[in-house]
């Protein structure tokens, strides 16, 4: 088991006390990438800042948490090739059995796994390739890429935008909420 740092980016409604008493908050979007749950950025606060700039137009709060990461409780589509194989097997089954009329998405596949009772996990971890686009010039400071060869386009993302969706508020032993940003909401902030 590994202890991980997670960050949740929220809309700043000048309600830090409410956040401290009620966080984390579930994602309520219709098109959630990993399904219903509580979305966090894994390890790198820079990604939480990027999301605050893009989604909340620079009026945002970042909450920091700790959780217990274990492949027995997190369906890890970043670092566990067995989990990736399981996902791929499910995609092939859905295609073979013609279960999904439309082209399947990640969230549809995960929902299928959950509906069939085969999904025993508390969370899902994924890296959305190109989720932070290089084409958005004003966010170039949020892109952490090193080319393997200067004349080629292949790169290493050294602060990849990995997300963890925890399905229930208390999943993965999520704990120790602390507001990290903006400074005036931090408990150790001094004027």
Taking alpha carbons only, the member of 53, 58, 7 closest to residue 163 is: 7
Tell me the average pLDDT across 51-79: 95
Q: How confident is the model at residue 104 (pLDDT cuts 50, 70, 90)?
A: confident
Helical residues (DSSP H) of 61-149, grouped into ranges: 81-96, 106-115
Using the predicted structure, report yes or no on whether residue 1 has a pLDDT greater than 70.
yes
pTM of the model: 0.90
Domain containing 152 equals 2-78+119-185
12: in domain: yes
Rg (CA), the chain: 18
102: in domain: no
95: in domain: no
Question: What is the pLDDT at residue 166?
Answer: 98
- Residue 130 burial by Cβ neighbours in a 10 Å radius (0-12, 13-18, 19+): exposed
92: in domain: no
96: in domain: no
90: in domain: no
38: in domain: yes
Using the predicted structure, report yes or no on whether residue 102 has a pLDDT greater than 80.
no
% of the chain at pLDDT higher than 70: 92
111: in domain: no
Q: How many domains does the chain have?
A: 1
Q: What is the total residue count of the chain?
A: 191
């Amino acid at each position: 088991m590994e202890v991980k740092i997670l960050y949740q980016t929220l809309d700043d409604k000048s309600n830090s006390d409410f956040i401290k008493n009620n966080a984390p908050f579930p994602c309520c979007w219709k098109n959630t990438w990993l399904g219903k749950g509580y979305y966090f950025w894994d390890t790198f606060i820079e990604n939480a800042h990027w999301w605050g700039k893009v989604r909340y137009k620079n009026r945002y709060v970042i909450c920091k948490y700790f959780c217990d990461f274990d492949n027995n409780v997190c369906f890890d589509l970043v670092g566990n090739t067995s989990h990736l194989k399981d996902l791929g097997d499910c995609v092939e089954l859905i295609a073979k059995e013609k279960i999904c009329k439309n082209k399947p998405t990640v969230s549809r596949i995960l929902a299928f796994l959950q509906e069939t009772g085969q999904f025993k996990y508390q969370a899902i971890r994924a890296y959305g390739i190109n989720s932070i686009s290089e084409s958005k010039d004003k966010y170039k400071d949020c892109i952490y890429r090193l080319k393997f060869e200067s004349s080629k386009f292949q790169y290493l993302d050294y602060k990849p935008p990995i997300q963890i969706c925890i399905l229930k508020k208390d999943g993965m032993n999520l704990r120790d909420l602390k507001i990290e940003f903006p400074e005036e909401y931090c408990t150790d902030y001094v004027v």
